[in-house]
Structure 1
Amino acid sequence: MLTVTPTPASAVSERKSGFYRHDLDGLRGIAIALVAVFHVWFGRVSGGVDVFLVLSGFFFGGSLLRTALHPQASLSPWPEILRLVRRLLPALVVVLAAGAVLTILVQPQTRWETFADQSLASLGYFQNWELSATASDYLRAGEAVSPLQHAWSMSVQGQFYLAMLALIFGFACLARRRLGARLRVTLVALLAVLAVASFSFAAVLHVSNQTAAYYNSFARAWELLLGTLVGAVVPYVRWPMWLRTVLATAGLVTIVTCGTFIDGVREFPGPWALVPVGATALMILAAANRQASPSTQHRLPLPSRLLSTRPLITLGAMAYSLYLWHWPLLIFWLAYSDASRAGFVDGAAILAISGGLAYLTMRFVEEPLRSGRRSAASVTTQPVTIAWRTRLRRPTIALGTAVALLGVALTATSFTWREHVTVQRANGKELVTLSTDSYPGARALTQHARVPKLPMRPTVLEASNDLPESTNDGCISDFDNTDVINCTYGDKLAAKTIALAGGSHAEHWITALDALAKLHHFKVVTYLKMGCPLTTEESPLVMGDNRPYPNCHEWNEKVMAKLIADRPSFVFTTSTRPWNIKPGDVMPSTYIGVWQTLSDNNIPILAMRDTPWLVRNGAPFFPTDCLAKGGDAVSCGIGRSEVLSDRNQTLDFLPIFPLMRVLDLSDAVCRADVCRAVEGNVLIYHDSHHISATYMRTLIPELGRQLGAATAWW
């Protein structure tokens, strides 16, 4: 009978490349602990992900370099790709499948499509681009935080792995014989140029669009490339022990404290990311020793020896699974408890459960499939028979098959749900023909119309597509575009013109304005940009998350010049905004300069009071989510005093600007005490703060009454 014995400790430490860096496994453990703790209890970015990126570049990029520089090594990418698949996909599939089950149990149906989209993006390793597109899409920018949001970093790494495979192996294949000994210097120089280019790109994009930079693969590439470059110089580092100890201590302290002093969400991957990235590079170099061996572990700096302790090594081995598990569990708990942040007890429970699931995933999913054995301990130093080898492989094959089938089922389910939602939204085409008797909407408030008992329209699944025509027509500049886009609605041959100018809260009135313009023979020309009202603000911010929005200022300068040149009969724009810092709404002082400029050029203003923005616990609140969970029109609404002040402050400026006319449809959206989610069987909002096109059609009579009085056109 064959006896299976564990590998001696010394054998575990020695790899093809020499002495194995257990201290870096421990550093992984520190990094994942920081990531999880800061996410769960502090709602901040710790810099731990940046540590992971550098270490990934060091291990993977360094391995590719060593292979490419070996004159006899195979340059086929398929073995590396197979190892990546076996290393990364099984745990990801398991967590995504668990997340799908929890989504169905915990999240409203309105969130299922987002999870399906992001599951596919995570499996395809383009989740960072999916999140970047979502952040740039004003109609989705306020969505609740996704339980898969953390998968962006894995997508960046996956893309980096494939790009490095193609670059290093491809370059070596073409130039290994030609360059000979110069191949190392050439490859390192090429990677250094790419790292500098990536860092420069990140620094520039960070200023103009920090959110895009955060998820951009090339803006993150310098962190991984730096790890690869550090790996290239490690064999040549020979520093005295005192210097290595100082550097290792400084690096470890910097990594541990980084998240306390730097807001990574807003500062990474710009120049401030050099702090955790540089500290990680110091940790790698400080313990580098060309003559190292398992018997010289005591020659490592003290911080590196501390990182090499078994608890931290084990935590480092669990890092990937723990990273996968902790974030979804946190988000699902917050969704279930309707809390904005975890407390000490529930946060500790989330971390404990995440740790347990991470260990089980590592032990029974990652290790067997990565090593091709039942577990990491099932190794032997003796020859084995074919029969025994077959017996060892059977559980692995069964496990691999189960994981593959789970991945197929998850993919099929995601596509199926997306198709279901598409079919449901196709029914939304009939919303334009809803009977006003059955669906009076705003008329229930303004005309006290009778409201029969009928299902709400649009439904919670139809709502996100119940948009103004200008959005579907591409007649609003997105976050990145500073051009002024003009589209014409209403009676396009009319001489009288209303310029609809500002952000999306001006835009959603186009549905009613278009109908009135056709009826009363005037045209409506759009001057719109996402999240950007007419303002003189020098450093505007995106409403809701306070991101810097320099493109808004540039666009405002262009649009004001064009409005003056075009000289419309009236400029229709919003005149108030939410307070944010206290209940009610306010007239921003930065609007006054716009009104002054228009008045100086004898252009009358239609100043529309902004519709309420729904916020709970400091975050956008979606009535559709609430209704999908079983809430009603009142419980899914908001108190009027929370979103509207007693007086419209725009009225105070009428004596100063006699050409200004004030429009206020607050009483057509809110009751005296509450702004409900549904009025007259019609859903008011299609998200957290934009009026649905269906409800806007029910506002036509009241807007027509006020607009006729303001313009004297009818």
Structure 2
Amino acid sequence: MSRSTPAQAAAAPVPAAVAAPGGERGGASGGAGGASGAAFGAPPRSEHRVRRDIQGLRAIAVALVLLYHLSPEALPGGYIGVDVFFVISGFLITGQLLREAETSGTVDLVRFWARRARRLLPAALLVLAVTLVSVWCFAPRGYLPEFLAQVAASAGYVQNWVLAAQSVDYMAAESQVSPVQHYWSLSVEEQFYIVWPLVAVLAVAVAARVTRLRFRLVFAGLIACVCVASLITSIVLTSAAPAQAYFVTTTRAWEFAAGGLLAWAATSRRAILDRLPVRVRSAAAWAGLAGIAAAALWFTDATPFPGAAALLPVIATLLIIAAQEPAGAAAPTRWLGAPSMQWLGDISYGAYLWHFPLIVLLPFALGRSAGVLGAMAVIGATILLAWGSKVWVEDPFRAELSRDWPDARALAITSAGMVVLLAGALVGVHPADQQVEAERDRVAVVLEDPDPCLGVSALDPQSGCEALPEQLPIPEPALAAVSPERCLSPRAGTAVEPCEYGADAARATHTIALVGDSHAEQWLPALVHRAEQQRWRVIVMAKASCPFTAAERDFASSPEAENVALRSDCAAWNDAVLQRLVDDPSIGTVMTAAKSTNRMVSGSGDWRAAAERGYAERWRELPPSVQRVLAIRDTPQMAERVLQCVSGHGTTAADACAVPMAEALGADPLADAAESLSTATPRSRTADATPVVDLVDMSEYFIVEDSCPPVIGGVLAFRDSHHVSWAYAEMLADPFADRISAVLRA
């Protein structure tokens, strides 16, 4: 499935998220965060009794999330802490609404929202403000625009929807997560706080109009409808589009509703929960704890989630809450109620807010991987900051500073703080974009007349460079994908969107069509660099994850429904590109490349053989006007999160993050098809014959002493684990163009 995985330093056995800034579960950039509000911290004693079991649950949930982000290998399902928090919120908030509506006959919306704002926004906005300043101080320039945009999305509590949109972005598959990505779950909670009291108001209105219906019955019916509809949505969307399903509110609402139904049952006059034997309730509580532990240990990033899998942590949490703090030596109440658990539960909101900015920004501030000591520092700083923000920000604002404010005033002031922070983040996006463009232009100037020992030049035995220079790479990893030229259609859709470069049709000595997936499009900087000089007309037709082939692309890692749709789109796009080549007889050369691990549908099970046949068949189908096919061997495969490895190792990244040549250069069906046809066809083409096929192999420019380093001669060679960086592609322009020219002359 298309989902970001936890950050992992490629070559350092240290806590992953601290070794190098990395990702959360859920998307190009995904999240496994926590929750806010009622789910965090002790509720005011005036509202209802503080339950020690719920405080203990808060402590468990925030510990799961923190440990997961620091060491996902040790606790692969720790992200289920979010589900625990969501159920707690649904239980507590529904209970409050039930009490208020039955006592006063209505729900005071302004009062409800003002109470939530008093408790939640001061600490949340403080963390966002500190993060905003820290981003400007420590984050690489290339990440600034995205980080600032996500701070704005977090301040507006729409972060989950932003991440849901980005999670389907193919080009963001290995992108750097922002230090506020964890605010996605806070956004879900805030949206719940806005909608849930409106559901209660609707129940009050219906009960008032239909005299035979009681408020409790109407409210329970509405909650049940939300629960069933959202659970169905969660299961269906998790199967069809898991990356989106992880973040959107509609797939999570049932978890709040489940807690709400328990609150309704627990406060019913006919409630039997408190009349169950202690041993039964103790067994339920232990079963709940076992369920949470099982999910945290057995679930992984590959588990379809939330969907049906989320039933385990949700039901487990419900069992613990429903047990109602059973007494006795056999019950877990004493453990959940231990002072340390109560204290951690009390600061859980602050702990969740502070931990992820520390994890992401610490390596940037240090300029290297923080290691095990860094992980310990993150834990210590998280606890200290969480305690400090509760004592000096949360409690004073709620109990002293805003105590005498009218509800409308408290709501207006806290909302104004949101607006100010949101605007402050958005105002910085344009200057950040300008910084990115300026740095990219600076790197481009350096590459125009490179030092003899820089980049590709250092590989030349005649360069006089005795050893490759140890220096920080250019561009910085944050700019590796910020190419001056891009021409790539998204995975979904069938439209062919060509881009044209170089000489116009009247002056062109050759017209070349560059077609294929992103591994073809990655050579665009090299082609553009020389197209005008050589008087080539270059037409680019590229589509993400869709090679130019007659075989049927198999998106095996996607859910079945998405796989079928993407396969259909890719096939239709291929046919449309072929028709474009037929319609433009000026195109005499087709240049193509493809990711070597692109799977193809194969009845025999050998997808590589099917892929090789598919490439050859598509080339045979080219019109007679296409005389040549230039097939480019795929680039080496690096380790996942290679840019995080480079960021964490600085000047030693070339050695620390290198991959052995035998692992990096795997089998390539496209290259195999080109080699078989290049030896089996004549060197000129007639009608109904296969065009001349030549293999262009640039592998030697990625190999240094039997290994493939991510940094070559001080230049960052890759933008992720399998794409060439735009800077290195530009440095390869001359040798790349020389090989093309030799083929064209022949």
Q: Tell me the alpha carbon deviations over residues 308-365 of structure 1, each in whole angstroms, 9 at most, x when there is no partner.
A: 444333222121112223333334455567888964x664554344223322322232
Instruction: Tell me what 1:322 maps to.
Output: 351
Matches of 2:433 and 2:612, distance apart in 1: 44
Instruction: Tell me what 1:222 maps to.
Output: 254
CA contact (8 A) 1:39 1:45 kept: no
Q: 1:609 aligns with which of 633, 640, 644?
A: 633
Instruction: Tell me what 1:38 maps to.
Output: 68
Matches of 1:623 and 1:257, distance apart in 2: 31
SS at 2:519 equivalent:
helix
Q: 1:117 aligns with which of 144, 149, 156?
A: 149
Cα distance change, pair 606–408 in 1 and its aligned pair in 2 (3 A): same
Within 5 A, what are the aligned runs for 1:348-367?
A: 348-367=376-395
Cα distance change, pair 573–466 in 1 and its aligned pair in 2 (3 A): same
Q: CA deviation at 1:55?
A: 0.7
Instruction: Tell me what 1:146 maps to.
Output: 178
Instruction: Tell me what 2:34 maps to.
Output: none
Q: 1:556 aligns with which of 548, 551, 570?
A: 570
SS at 2:167 equivalent:
helix
Q: CA deviation at 1:505?
A: 1.9
Matches of 2:286 and 2:379, distance apart in 1: 27
Cα distance change, pair 300–96 in 1 and its aligned pair in 2 (3 A): farther
CA contact (8 A) 2:170 2:490 kept: no
Instruction: Tell me what 2:641 maps to.
Output: 619
Q: CA deviation at 1:254?
A: 0.8
Instruction: Tell me what 1:466 maps to.
Output: 483
In the alignment, structure 1 residue 665 sits paired with structure 2 residue 698: yes
Q: CA deviation at 1:467?
A: 3.8
Within 5 A, what are the aligned runs for 1:475-624?
A: 475-478=488-491, 481-490=492-501, 500-513=514-527, 524=539, 526-530=541-545, 538-541=554-557, 552-563=566-577, 571-575=590-594, 577=596, 591-599=611-619, 601=621, 605-612=629-636, 614-615=638-639, 618-621=640-643
Matches of 1:120 and 1:22, distance apart in 2: 36
Range 268-277 or range 35-44, more displaced: 35-44
Cα distance change, pair 37–464 in 1 and its aligned pair in 2 (3 A): closer
In the alignment, structure 1 residue 284 sits paired with structure 2 residue 321: yes
SS at 1:267 equivalent:
coil
Cα distance change, pair 16–427 in 1 and its aligned pair in 2 (3 A): closer
Cα distance change, pair 364–137 in 1 and its aligned pair in 2 (3 A): same
Q: CA deviation at 1:225?
A: 1.9
Alignment: residue pair count:
645
Matches of 2:183 and 2:737, distance apart in 1: 49
Matches of 1:357 and 1:435, distance apart in 2: 43
Instruction: Tell me what 2:112 maps to.
Output: 80
SS at 1:149 equivalent:
coil
In the alignment, structure 1 residue 179 sits paired with structure 2 residue 203: no
In the alignment, structure 1 residue 52 sits paired with structure 2 residue 85: yes
CA contact (8 A) 1:326 1:354 kept: yes
Cα distance change, pair 402–356 in 1 and its aligned pair in 2 (3 A): farther
Q: CA deviation at 1:504?
A: 1.7
CA contact (8 A) 1:58 1:230 kept: yes
CA contact (8 A) 2:637 2:722 kept: yes
Instruction: Tell me what 1:246 maps to.
Output: 283
Q: 1:302 aligns with which of 322, 331, 335?
A: 331
Within 5 A, what are the aligned runs for 1:406-445?
A: 414-415=425-426, 417-427=428-438, 438=449, 444=457
CA contact (8 A) 2:653 2:711 kept: yes
Cα distance change, pair 410–692 in 1 and its aligned pair in 2 (3 A): same
Coordinate RMSD, CA, aligned: 4.8
Matches of 2:226 and 2:412, distance apart in 1: 39
Amino acid at match of 1:247: A
Range 551-560 or range 641-650, more displaced: 641-650
Cα distance change, pair 704–16 in 1 and its aligned pair in 2 (3 A): closer
Range 149-158 or range 124-133, more displaced: 124-133
CA contact (8 A) 1:44 1:263 kept: yes
Q: CA deviation at 1:401?
A: 14
CA contact (8 A) 1:439 1:681 kept: no
Matches of 2:698 and 2:636, distance apart in 1: 11
CA contact (8 A) 1:68 1:172 kept: no
Amino acid at match of 1:269: P
CA contact (8 A) 1:116 1:414 kept: yes
Cα distance change, pair 61–696 in 1 and its aligned pair in 2 (3 A): same
Matches of 1:62 and 1:492, distance apart in 2: 71
Q: Tell me the alpha carbon deviations over residues 520-572 of structure 1, each in whole angstroms, 9 at most, x when there is no partner.
A: 56662514125878675634348xxxxx9665444433344445555656653
Q: CA deviation at 1:63?
A: 2.1
Matches of 1:531 and 1:87, distance apart in 2: 49
Range 402-411 or range 180-189, more displaced: 402-411
Matches of 2:167 and 2:591, distance apart in 1: 27
SS at 2:227 equivalent:
helix
Instruction: Tell me what 1:213 maps to.
Output: 245
SS at 1:177 equivalent:
helix
Matches of 2:528 and 2:136, distance apart in 1: 40
CA contact (8 A) 1:489 1:525 kept: yes
Percent identity between the aligned chains?
27
Range 568-577 or range 149-158, more displaced: 568-577
Cα distance change, pair 341–144 in 1 and its aligned pair in 2 (3 A): farther
Instruction: Tell me what 2:396 maps to.
Output: 368
Matches of 2:641 and 2:444, distance apart in 1: 34
Structure 2 gap ranges (5+)? 1-42, 583-587, 599-606, 679-689
Q: CA deviation at 1:228?
A: 1.7
Matches of 1:298 and 1:465, distance apart in 2: 60
Instruction: Tell me what 1:274 maps to.
Output: 311
Instruction: Tell me what 2:196 maps to.
Output: 164
Instruction: Tell me what 2:126 maps to.
Output: 94
Cα distance change, pair 592–86 in 1 and its aligned pair in 2 (3 A): same
Amino acid at match of 2:272: R
Range 330-339 or range 227-236, more displaced: 330-339
Q: CA deviation at 1:214?
A: 1.1
SS at 2:490 equivalent:
coil
Q: CA deviation at 1:252?
A: 1.9
SS at 2:694 equivalent:
strand
Matches of 1:156 and 1:439, distance apart in 2: 50
Q: CA deviation at 1:476?
A: 0.6
Matches of 1:599 and 1:477, distance apart in 2: 23
Q: Tell me the alpha carbon deviations over residues 275-320 of structure 1, each in whole angstroms, 9 at most, x when there is no partner.
A: 00111122222329xxxxxxxx749992346434443332221211
CA contact (8 A) 1:613 1:688 kept: yes
Instruction: Tell me what 1:380 maps to.
Output: none
